[in-house]
Amino acid sequence: GAVVSQHPSRVICKSGTSVKIECRSLDFQATTMFWYRQFPKKSLMLMATSNEGSKATYEQGVEKDKFLINHASLTLSTLTVTSAHPEDSSFYICSARELGNTGELFFGEGSRLTVL
Amino acid sequence: AQRVTQPEKLLSVFKGAPVELKCNYSYSGSPELFWYVQYSRQRLQLLLRHISRESIKGFTADLNKGETSFHLKKPFAQEEDSAMYYCALNAGGTSYGKLTFGQGTILTVHP
């Protein structure tokens, strides 16, 4: 199956700094990617829908100025956590849908962010 | 708004026993339901889609619109089935891919 890769897999940063997480579709093109947040032993919460060439669509309650999403190409979406706080520490997961395909979604391996 | 409920956080069975992971949903339209599995230290991967009506790794799930359920079943559990299982709903249409996940059920199959 298709592969979605996230980088970095783990990142530790200090409060107040910004962190960028990349999500790449390695062998297919994705007009749409989705960013989720997963709390320990809890469900995945959809944060935003990343659309290639246009602004991301954020879910209710997600601060768009804090979680900046950019989908600059058909294979790359980035999530930047700005002015990170310890409460932003979490597991961030992206998924991607193949171009023109309403079939399977493919998930990245996730990125664990720890803010000190 | 859609909602997915997995009432069991933890489920333990012995190898060879039947297993059923419950999933109920709430959605006013015609949903598409999925089961995803996450093995230890691995990424989330698709196990089943209700529209496929297929059996993967011995697991089956039937959409019951009357009971708004999509329970996952396997007649004989194996140790390698131990994992976290998520039921998910997609509202469809232009929102395709925006999944609403249940809370997840950790299945442990004992030898």
Inter-chain CB proximity B46 and A105 less than 8 Å: yes
Q: What is the CA radius of gyration of chain B?
A: 13
Mean per-residue pLDDT over chain A, rounded: 90
Using the Cβ of A5 and the Cβ atoms of chain B, whether some distance falls under 8 Å is answered with no
Contacts of B103 in chain A (CB under 8 A): 42-43
**Rounded CA gap, B24 and B72, in Å?**
11
Over range A22-28, report the average pLDDT.
92
> Count of alpha carbons within 13 Å of A16, Cβ hemisphere only?
0
Q: How far apart are the first and last CA of chain A?
A: 37
b/e B37-53 (16+ beta carbons within 10 angstroms → b): bbeeeebbebbbbbeee
Give the dihedral sign, CA B9/B49/A7/A14.
Answer: negative
Q: What is the CA radius of gyration of chain A?
A: 13
> What are the residues of chain B with a beta carbon less than 8 Å away from any beta carbon of chain A?
9, 36, 42-46, 49, 86, 96-104, 106
- CA–centroid distance for A26 within its chain: 15
pLDDT digits (tens, 9 = 90+) for B20-79: 999 999 988 888 899 999 998 888 998 998 877 778 899 999 899 999 999 999 999 999
pLDDT computed for residue B86 by the predictor: 96
pLDDT computed for residue B89 by the predictor: 93
- Assess contact for B57 and B9: CB atoms under 8 A: no
Inter-chain CB pairs, A–B, below 8 Å? 46
What lies within 8 Å, CB to CB, of A43 at 6+ separation is B86, B101, B102, B103, B104
Q: Are strands A90-97 and A32-38 parallel, antiparallel or unpaired?
A: antiparallel
Best to test chain B binding among A45, A105, A107 (most B CBs inside 10 Å):
A105
Does the pLDDT at position A1 exceed 80?
no
Does the pLDDT at position B103 exceed 90?
yes
Q: Identify which of B101, B6, B85 has the alpha carbon closest to the alpha carbon of residue B45.
A: B85
pLDDT computed for residue A28 by the predictor: 87
Closest approach of B84 to chain A, Cα-based (Å): 9
In degrees, rounded to 5, the angle at the alpha carbon of residue B97 between the alpha carbons of residues B91 and B101 is 70
Over range A16-37, report the average pLDDT.
93
Q: Identify which of A91, A87, A111 has the alpha carbon closest to the alpha carbon of residue A38.
A: A91
pLDDT computed for residue A79 by the predictor: 97
Over range A32-54, report the average pLDDT.
88
pLDDT computed for residue A31 by the predictor: 82
A52-61, A106-115, B89-98: least confident range = B89-98
A29-38, B4-13, B68-77: least confident range = A29-38
**Rounded CA gap, B109 and B111, in Å?**
7
> Count of alpha carbons within 13 Å of B60, Cβ hemisphere only?
9
pLDDT digits (tens, 9 = 90+) for A45-102: 999 998 888 889 999 999 999 999 998 888 999 999 999 999 999 999 999 987 765 6
Beta bridge partners of A58: A48
pLDDT computed for residue A100 by the predictor: 64
Nearest to A43 among B46, B98, B103 (CB): B103
Preceding amide of A8 cis, omega within 30: yes
